[in-house]
Each structure stands twice: as C-alpha cells, then as structure tokens.
C-alpha cells in the first residue's frame, strides 16, 4: 500500500510539474513573431527627429519655437507629440538596445491584444496562433522596422479590444477610451486612426441605445485628442500632417500600395485573406465600416495596412483551421520564440544609415551652416547636433519649401534650387538625389561610406583646403 501511495503521489507531483510548464500555442506564436521581428529589426526613417526635438526640449527646459535644428522657417509650427519626443530622447540616450526593447514591447502588446480579441470572439487556441502568424507576416515591416509609429502599434489593438468588449456588453469601461486617446495623441499622429474608429463605433453601435452618453463620449474623445501642449492649435498640426507634400505626392511612407513592392504584395494578400475570412464569420456594422475605411486608407497609403490587419485579424480567426495544439509543440514554439527574442535583444538592431564618422565630417565641414540631406541622413545630422536646411517633421515647413525639397529628393531639376541654401550635401548611395548631384559642377565629393556620400561646394573646398 505504501508503494502504491508513493507511486500515486509521485505521479500527481509529476502531473502538477508538467502542468506548470503548460503554455498555449497562441503565446508561443506571439513569442515567435516578436522574436523574429527583433532578430531582423533595423532602424527606420521618421524616428530620430523625435529624439532630436526631445533633446532640444530638455536643453531649453521648455518647448522651443518651431524646429530648432532646421534653418528653413518653422516658427508657426504647433509641436504636438512632445511626450513622444521626450520618450525617444530617453530611449536614444539609453542606446539602441533600449529602443529595440521598446519596439518589441509594442509588438508583443499588439499581438497579445489581437490574440485575446480572437479568443474572446470564439477562436480556439490553434486558430488564434495561426491568425497571429498570418498577421505578423502581413505587416512584418511595421514590426521589424523601428519608426515613430512604435506607440501606435500598441494603442490601436488595445482600443479595438475595448470596443469589441463593449460591443458584447456595454459598460462604463467605454469611458477609458478618451484618456487612452489623450495619451496616444501626445505620442504619435496615428491617434487619428484610433479616433476615427472610435467615432464609427459610437455612431453605429451605441448611439441608438444611449444618444446622450454617445454624444458626450464623442465630444470627450475629440477634446482628448487636443489635450497636447498645442491645445487649440492641435487640429492645425493634424491638418499639416495629412496635407504635407509627401502625403500629397504619395512619397515614402505615404506611398500607395504597389505591386512592385514585395512587402506591399504580402500585405495585400494577407489583408485580403483575413478580410474574406472575417466576412464569412460575420461582423458588426461598425466593424464592417471600419474595415472598409481602413482598406481605402491602405490602398491610398500602405502605411495604414498595419491597422487594417490588426483590426480584421481577431474577427477572422474562427474560420481558420486549427484547434487544440499538442503541448510539446506549444512549448517548443515558446522556447524558440524566447531564445530568438533574447538573442535579438543581445544583438541589437541593424543599421543601414550613414556611419557616425561621415555624419561628423559633414557637421564639421558645414561650420554651423545648414546641411541639405535626404530624410534619414537629415535626422542623423540633427541628432548629432548639426543643422539642416529642411527635413522631418516635414509638415513643420512651408508648403513651398516642402515641394522644393521633394523635387530635390526625386532628382528633378526644380529641386536644384535647394542647393542655394547650403554648401554641404549628404545623399544616399544610388539615390536620385545623388545621381543628379554628381552632374552638378558646383559640388565635389568629399567623402563616402557604404550607405551615403558627402558633397561640398567646390568654392568652399578650395577655400578651406579640404
């Protein structure tokens, strides 16, 4: 009897230990996707200017007028994302590993919120895991390339999770939305996406049942988005973001979906698959309108695709194959994801930017005068303490200056007028601006590295003997 009891006790303890190591396939998928995003992470554009402005805010002890590191006029620009500027200033101060950790935290939150939403809508563990992997592949550049939208990656799926929870059962928790929007608006301009979705939800899901509360929520949400250092001028900032020259011409991040871009093709395929599955499951009216609005926005500007995929994924999961996943498979996925994640954090992000030596040489050659540089290079100059003629945030500048700058970036003859403002120019290798500049007899190459080339005006080079 003692042997039997001992054997039974050992079996129970072993069973308890095995259960303590249980992990869901969904958690494993989140870890794998986050780890891969970290392993292949790189620095993106539209990032360093936030840190440069944050540094200016810290040094000045307040918000400076316009963009202090730029020579082109910006005095009337309302600076809204000051909190984001301070956040990125702190992250850059801590180093690239801290920035990568913040990016991966945002990715993990986005995928976890998506998975929770899928399970709440009736998806099984295996189905939720598969939809996480599909979503991660579809929007992988948004997860792996570190950009200013880092914070929006986390806020948007959390807002969707709240709205879907309120769709099932209305409660006072809906009043969490305005504070979330108030924090989001101080970090990144994509809060407009969140505000738009929230207003769609209110109009189509809540208004008929509680019109007074719904109207109050709508007003509170709009006012929350204006709770920034710019206050009543906040709408002017958002208008500038939406009508800037890059957006008007569909350049860079504002470019439309293109069949010539492999990433855009993968995004389109993934989004279409998820949309078809979501429609087969059935969705509420506010979700359908949200899907339609985000689809149109994505076709117009592919950068919106990440929000479309994160919005559709939870609703589509139930139509995917997959049910219960063997515990060993889930544990293996979690182990691989954890190892990849730790390896990525140890390695840090990859940089495809100009080297610090070349940036430093450009700043030295400029002697305090403005440098004309392509977008990423201009941000590097600003972060290194140099002065640029124009760059990000592009919406801070006059439309005429924006237009001339875009002409120069695209190698158009009209852009040559920008060269009158500078004696030092930084361009990316094989760019249109570089090819155009190489034919300009007024400038000569001074130095280069694997990613960029430095030009100076020939008259200055002869005067300084460089």
The confidence band for 466, taking pLDDT boundaries of 50, 70 and 90, is low
Per-residue pLDDT tens over the stretch 385-422:
999 999 999 999 999 999 999 999 999 999 999 999 99
Q: What is the DSSP string of 82-141?
A: HHHHHHHHHHHHH-HHHHHHHHHHHHHHHHHHHHHHHHHTT--HHHHHHHHHHHHHHTHH
Question: Distance between CA atoms of 52 and 379, rounded to whole angstroms?
Answer: 8
CA atoms within 13 Å, Cβ hemisphere of 425: 28
- Write down the pLDDT at residue 22: 62
Of 271, 21, 273, 30, nearest to 128 (Cα)?
Answer: 30
Beta bridge partners, 42, equal 145, 350
- Write down the pLDDT at residue 50: 95
Among 19-23, 145-149, 204-208, the least confident range: 19-23
- Write down the pLDDT at residue 47: 87
**Better pLDDT: 23 or 400:** 400
- 12 pLDDT higher than 70: no
Roughly how many angstroms between the first and final C-alpha of the chain, as a whole number?
A: 94
Please state whether the predicted TM-score (pTM) of the whole model is above 0.85: yes
Per-residue pLDDT tens over the stretch 159-188:
999 999 999 999 999 999 999 999 999 999
Question: Which residues make Cβ contacts (< 8 Å) with residue 368, sequence separation at least 6?
Answer: 387
- 34 pLDDT higher than 50: yes
CA angle, residues 205, 211, 214, in degrees to nearest 5? 65
- Write down the pLDDT at residue 464: 54
Q: How far is CA 417 from the centre of its chain?
A: 32
- Write down the pLDDT at residue 1: 43
Question: Distance between CA atoms of 394 and 221, rounded to whole angstroms?
Answer: 27
């Amino acid at each position: 009897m003692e042997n039997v009891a001992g054997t039974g006790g050992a079996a129970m303890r072993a069973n308890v230990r095995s259960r303590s190591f249980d992990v869901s396939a969904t958690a494993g998928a989140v870890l794998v996707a986050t780890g891969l995003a970290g392993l292949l992470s790189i620095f993106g554009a539209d990032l360093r200017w936030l840190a440069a402005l944050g540094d200016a805010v810290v040094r000045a002890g307040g918000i400076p007028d316009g963009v202090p590191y730029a020579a082109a006029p910006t005095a009337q620009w309302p600076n809204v994302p000051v909190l984001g500027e301070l956040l990125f200033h702190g992250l850059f101060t801590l180093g690239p590993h801290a920035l990568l950790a913040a990016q991966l935290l945002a990715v993990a939150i986005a995928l976890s919120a998506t998975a929770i939403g899928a399970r709440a809508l009736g998806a099984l563990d295996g189905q939720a895991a598969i939809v996480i992997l599909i979503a991660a592949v579809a929007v992988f550049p948004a997860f792996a390339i570190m950009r200013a939208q880092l914070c929006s990656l986390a806020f948007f799926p959390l807002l969707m999770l709240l709205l879907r929870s309120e769709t099932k059962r209305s409660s006072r928790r809906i009043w969490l939305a305005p504070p979330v929007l108030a924090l989001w608006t101080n970090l990144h301009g994509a809060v407009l996406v969140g505000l738009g979705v929230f207003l769609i939800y209110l109009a189509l899901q809540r208004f008929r049942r509680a019109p007074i509360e719904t109207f109050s929520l709508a007003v509170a949400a709009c006012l929350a988005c204006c709770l920034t250092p710019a206050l009543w001028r906040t709408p002017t900032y958002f208008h500038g973001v939406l009508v800037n020259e890059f957006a008007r011409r569909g350049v860079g991040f504002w470019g439309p979906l293109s069949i010539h871009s492999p990433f855009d093709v993968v995004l389109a395929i993934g989004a279409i698959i998820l949309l078809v599955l979501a429609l087969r499951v059935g969705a509420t009216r506010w979700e359908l309108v949200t899907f339609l609005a985000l689809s149109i926005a994505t076709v117009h500007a592919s950068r919106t695709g990440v929000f479309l995929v994160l919005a559709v994924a939870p609703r589509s999961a139930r139509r995917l194959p997959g049910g219960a996943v063997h515990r060993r498979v889930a544990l293996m996925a979690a182990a691989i994801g954890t190892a990849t994640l730790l390896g990525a954090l140890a390695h840090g992000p990859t940089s495809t930017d100009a080297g610090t030596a070349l940036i430093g040489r450009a700043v030295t050659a400029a002697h305090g005068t403005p440098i004309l540089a392509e977008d990423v290079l201009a941000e590097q100059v600003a972060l290194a303490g140099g002065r640029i003629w124009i760059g990000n945030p592009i919406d801070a500048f006059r439309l005429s200056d924006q237009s001339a700058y875009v002409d120069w970036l695209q190698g158009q003859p009209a852009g040559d007028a920008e060269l009158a403002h500078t004696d030092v120019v930084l361009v990316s290798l094989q760019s249109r601006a570089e090819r155009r500049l190489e034919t300009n007899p007024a400038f000569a190459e001074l130095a280069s590295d694997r990613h960029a080339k430095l030009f100076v005006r020939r008259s200055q080079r002869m005067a300084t003997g460089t």
